[in-house]
């Protein structure tokens, strides 16, 4: 098993291109032990970037992550996200404190604006920069920001410090490739791809299944490998079942040849025009 390739953030920090997501974790107390074990297994396998949000399980997913990383904080790059209604200066400082309490950490490695709300971007950026200055957050980013949102953000004082944009991006949702990801690349901003198998829909795609069968891997592995082949993309599939975690990890070792990539382009055509950013 090779090491997971890394992605370089604008400040020079390198993170694993393959991590673990926690959407729908923390919703059921009876699943807590299995969820904690899954996150720990992912970390042990080198998937040391862990993504969560205050929204997931109403803070429950952050508590799962907090328990999973206890005693190994230094190994893990922790990402969390805040609600749009917490994007004002006063509310954001309180939301960050609550998130850090649930995670039981002093400093968040990356704090993302979950999706854009009504608060002026200048106020949100100023609050985020204050959190960085105070040591509560190491760096910040956004999620579900389209081209116009990113352009506006980059024009705000301090907005150029955005490190990541987390968006819906997978084989069947390639819209960001046309204009958004080139914008990211021009500023060194990493693209974090959520829902890499499209909430399971890609696993039922006959063409993708045929490619996976021919290679001798799972459809999920092909979909994830397609994402993490790019040095500027980070994928965060969610998994609780240990076999699923191992399956996801193996995707980082899968190299798709040019013929396979061309076949995937035929099945899932790259965008030929700008499309509105999709969101789940």
CA distance 69 to 55: 19
CA distance 43 to 78: 11
Residue 275: CB partners within 8 Å, gap ≥ 6?
175, 178
Residue 123 phi/psi, 5-degree rounding, is -70, -45
Q: Is 83 a catalytic residue?
A: no
Q: How many CB atoms lie within 10 A of CB 2?
A: 8
Residue 44 phi/psi, 5-degree rounding, is -60, -30
Instruction: Tell me whether residue 205 is annotated as binding.
Output: no
Tell me if residue 252 falls in helix, strand or coil.
coil
Element (H, E) at 66: helix 60-69
Tell me if residue 22 falls in helix, strand or coil.
coil
Q: Which of 56, 111, 113, 194 is catalytic?
A: 56
Q: Are 62 and 36 in contact (CB under 8 A)?
A: no
Structure tokens at 191: 């693209």
Q: CA nearest 51: which of 187, 124, 143, 129?
A: 143
Binding residues: 114
Binding residues for substrate: 114
Active site residues: 56
């Amino acid at each position: 098993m090779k090491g997971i390739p890394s992605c370089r953030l604008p400040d020079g920090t390198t993170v694993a291109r393959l991590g673990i997501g926690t959407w729908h974790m923390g919703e059921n107390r009876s699943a807590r032990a299995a969820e904690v074990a899954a996150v720990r297994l992912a970390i042990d396998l080198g998937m040391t970037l862990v993504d969560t949000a205050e929204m997931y399980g109403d803070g429950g997913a952050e508590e799962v992550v907090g328990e999973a990383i206890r005693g190994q904080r230094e190994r893990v790059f922790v990402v969390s996200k805040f609600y749009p209604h917490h994007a004002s200066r006063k509310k954001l400082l309180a939301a960050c404190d609550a998130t850090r309490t649930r995670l039981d950490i002093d400093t968040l490695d990356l704090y993302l604006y979950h999706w854009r709300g009504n608060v002026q971007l200048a106020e949100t950026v100023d609050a985020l920069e204050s959190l960085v200055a105070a040591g509560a957050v190491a760096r910040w980013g956004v999620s579900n920001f389209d081209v116009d949102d990113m352009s506006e953000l980059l024009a705000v004082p301090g907005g150029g410090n955005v490190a990541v944009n987390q968006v819906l991006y997978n084989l069947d949702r390639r819209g960001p490739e046309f204009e958004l990801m080139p914008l990211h690349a021009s500023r060194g901003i990493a693209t974090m791809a959520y829902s890499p198998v499209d909430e399971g829909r890609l696993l039922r795609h006959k063409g993708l299944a045929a490619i996976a069968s021919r290679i001798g891997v799972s459809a999920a592995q092909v979909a994830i490998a397609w994402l993490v082949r790019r040095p500027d993309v980070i994928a965060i599939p969610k998994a609780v079942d240990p076999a699923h975690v191992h399956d996801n990890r193996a995707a980082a070792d899968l190299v798709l040849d040019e013929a396979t990539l061309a076949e995937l382009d035929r099945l899932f055509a790259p965008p030929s025009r700008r499309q509105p950013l999709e969101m789940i």
